[in-house]
Amino acid sequence: MEVTLVRAGKEDIRTVWEMQVEAFTGLLQKYGDVETSPASEPLEKVEARFGKPGSVYYFIMAEGRKVGVIRVVDLKDGSRKRISPLWIMPEFRNRGYAQLAMKAVEDLHGEHCWSLDTILQEEGNIHLYEKMGYRRTGMSVNINDKMDIIYFEKD
């Protein structure tokens, strides 16, 4: 099993946004985080991220299909790189694709000095990130009575 990363271009913004909405809708329904959920973001917010310095979206390709997306922010100035967001489409989850995609971005952008965040209540995400060498920073933000965001770093 393997994945390849294909850099998304400006012509792919709508596809990325549509995939993002579909991938995060279940979490939006579960946690009701309308203000912060990627599922409720307008197309323009994704479009703005495409234009930010160091921001790169990659389609995660496997089985001949786009199985997900990972966005990396790498300013290439020695500062901490960031993964935000990363998703696998519902029908392709629990097959190891997120782990392979994270390894692939480390191959492209370097193994060290990363950050990301996730929902505290999503134990599968936490397990994945800790397995990939990320450690909790101790920082968290309460979003609502059902959900908290916690932060990770990898050195």
Domain limits, the chain: 4-154
85: preceding bond cis by omega (within 30 degrees): yes
- Residue closest to 83 by CA, chosen among 115, 119, 42, 44: 115
* CATH classification for the domain delimited by 4-154, as one of 3.40.50.300, 3.40.630.30, 3.90.180.10, 3.40.630.10: 3.40.630.30
Q: Which residues contact 5 (CB under 8 A, 6 or more apart)?
A: 58, 59, 60, 61, 70, 101, 104, 105, 108
Q: How far apart are CA 131 and CA 56, in angstroms?
A: 24
* Low-confidence stretches of the chain (pLDDT beneath 70): none
Mean pLDDT of the chain: 97
- Amino acid 1: pLDDT: 81
